Amino acid sequence: MATMNISLPDPMKTWVEEQARQGRHANASDYMRDLIRRDQERQQAIAALQAAVTEGVNSGEPQSFDVRAFKLRMRERHVVK
């Protein structure tokens, strides 16, 4: 595992140490790894959402949508017989 040293203002250092002391994390490094993992997951979710928006925008002109016909098709497909 690689090592990275970071500088934090005193209030942030105190915050990180307190989070580790509260028991959710084994130590300050564990807390920082958790924050980075969460940020990575958030960035991936944003990228997936942006890709879906881009796909929608590039999919062409909007088409009309008949809600009643859609509901009828879904009932026909998913009704237990």
- Domain-embedded: residue 80: no
Name the residue among 43, 41, 39, 60 with its Cα closest to residue 51.
43
Report yes or no on 81 lying in a domain: no
Tens digit of pLDDT per residue, the chain (81 long)? Answer: 899 999 999 999 999 999 999 988 999 999 999 999 999 999 999 999 999 999 999 999 998 999 999 999 999 998 876
For 21, the domain range is 10-59
pTM > 0.85: yes or no: no
Q: Look at residue 37 and tell me if it is in a domain.
A: yes
Inside any domain, residue 29: yes
Residue 49 located in a structural domain: yes
**Residue 73 lies inside a defined structural domain of this protein:** no
Distance between CA atoms of 5 and 80, rounded to whole angstroms?
60
Q: What's the number of domains the chain is made of? A: 1
